[in-house]
């Protein structure tokens, strides 16, 4: 029978394997997204759920949130928020693209 100590070691080993694999995937994904000074981030408003993740990762304060009315009249909330890129401040670093859970941000030519 597997002891709890063996189980713990196996879980730790598996966690390292998963972390390594995810980091490699993120690296590959990041390499496939064009970036740099000639590009600027763009938010597809329809896909943005206002989660604020992009503003947290943006070191250049190039993203601000703005209020919009809720799309569905069935939900009794007066306002919702969306992200907007401040083009002049965006350095094209691509961090927001990687952070966005809904793939609402893409990099476009300046
Ligand atoms: S690409 Fe970088 S600088 Fe531009 S909005 Fe996204 S996180 Fe900010
Ligand atoms: S991370 Fe994506 S979904 Fe969340 S606020 Fe930014 S653009 Fe919108």
Taking only the tens place, the pLDDT of each residue in 18-49 is 888 888 887 777 778 888 889 999 999 989 99
> Residue 43 contacts by C-beta under 8 Å, 6 or more apart in sequence?
54, 82, 83, 84, 85, 104, 105
Does 4 fall in a domain? no
The ligand placed nearest to the CA atom of residue 61 is 1
Query: What is the domain count for the chain?
Result: 1
What is the reported pLDDT for 23? Answer: 81
CA 96 – ligand 1 centroid, Å: 6
Residue 90's pLDDT band, with cuts at 50, 70 and 90, is very high
Does 6 fall in a domain? no
| CATH number of the domain residue 56 falls in | 3.30.70.20
Token digits for 20? 């390594």
Asked if residue 1 has pLDDT above 90, the reply is: no
Asked if residue 75 has pLDDT above 90, the reply is: no
What's the domain range around 93?
A: 33-109
CA 90 – ligand 1 centroid, Å: 5
Q: What is the mean pLDDT of the chain?
A: 88
Does 86 fall in a domain? yes
What is the reported pLDDT for 57? Answer: 93
Residue 104's pLDDT band, with cuts at 50, 70 and 90, is very high
Contact 106, 44 (CB under 8 A): yes
| Substitution candidate for ligand 2 out of 41, 44, 52, 86 with most atoms within 8 A of CB | 52
- In the numeric block, the tokens 């390292």 are attached to 16
């Amino acid at each position: 029978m597997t002891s709890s100590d063996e189980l713990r070691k196996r879980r730790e080993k598996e966690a390292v394997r998963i972390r390594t694999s995810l980091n490699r995937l993120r690296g590959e994904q990041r390499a496939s997204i064009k970036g740099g000074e000639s590009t600027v981030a763009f938010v597809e408003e329809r896909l943005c759920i206002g989660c604020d993740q992009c503003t947290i990762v943006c070191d250049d304060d190039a993203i601000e949130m703005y209020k919009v009315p809720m799309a569905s009249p069935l939900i009794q909330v007066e306002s919702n928020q969306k992200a907007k890129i401040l083009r002049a401040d965006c350095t094209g670093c691509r961090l927001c693209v990687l952070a966005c859970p809904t793939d609402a941000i893409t990099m476009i030519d300046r």
